[in-house]
Amino acid sequence: MKSDFNTSMSLTHTWVSLIVGWAIFFILVTGTLSFFNYDLTRWLEPERPLEINLLQKPQDKQIEAMFDFLSKESQEAKEWYIKLPHIKNQTPNGASRTEIVARSSTNWAKYWYFDPLTLEEVKQTEVRQTEGGELFIDLHHKFYYIDETLGIILTGFLAFFTLVAVVSGVIIHKKVFKDFFTFRANKKQRSWIDMHNITGIITLPFVLMIFYTGLVYYSPHYVTIPY
């Protein structure tokens, strides 16, 4: 009985890894690239000013000034959105501007941009059209070129089956710590298996956390809560 269970876990680990591995590799690579979202977008939009030394007034002063402006210019808005400048902010006008948005319940939105040091209104910088680093974010969690909801559900399934592959891999390794300290060089296939075991054990906590938190983050798309 125990032998049958270990065999089934081994087959599960092998086939699930083979089936979803190619897609998971794609998700991990695009996720890594999306970390450099701002840098990639800035490189693809050379019209933006260089944002090396960001000079700005204290943030509480900026907030007060933005509230005063909005209370005069857009009292009818149902929602106000204020984004303070930061060197890693990805806004339509670059990181070195204070951005505010006023939205209503009828889906209209109005944008203003301000110099964070003088708090004077400035025009939006005209840049070429590009997805920039946003493309890799969209590819990472929803495959971009397919329906958004379907893409998010698909990545969720892949993340779930990756956890299945990881758990089944742990089960079939009875001697995890021994495998971690075992590497037989120049043994052809055996050497590759040893390397697989070592790298799998080293990255195990990170893989579990990455895919588990991804599933939790998008859980509203996977779970329907009856009202």
From edge to edge, which strands make up the β-sheet containing 109-114? Answer: 79-83, 98-103, 109-114, 121-122
Domain range annotation of the chain: 2-37+133-222, 59-122
Neighbouring-strand partners of residue 114: 98, 121
| Nearest residue to 194 (alpha-carbon basis) of 207, 170, 178, 210 | 178
Question: Which pLDDT value is given to residue 8?
Answer: 80
DSSP class of 122: E
- How wide is the angle at C-alpha 53 spanned by C-alphas 92 and 115, nearest 5°? 50
81: nearest Cα among 67, 94, 68: 67
Per-residue pLDDT of the chain (227 residues; tens, 9 = 90+): 556 777 787 788 788 888 888 898 999 999 999 888 878 888 888 887 766 667 788 888 888 988 888 888 887 778 888 888 876 655 554 556 777 777 765 666 788 888 888 888 888 778 788 888 889 999 998 998 888 888 998 998 899 988 888 888 777 776 666 666 666 777 777 777 777 777 777 888 888 899 899 888 888 887 764 44
What does the pLDDT read at residue 227?
42
Query: Both tokens of residue 6?
Result: 């270990």
The pLDDT of residue 26 is 93
pLDDT at 67: 87
C-alpha–C-alpha distance, residues 129 and 41, integer Å = 10
What is the model's pLDDT at position 27?
92
pLDDT at position 51:
65
What pLDDT sits at residue 226? Answer: 43
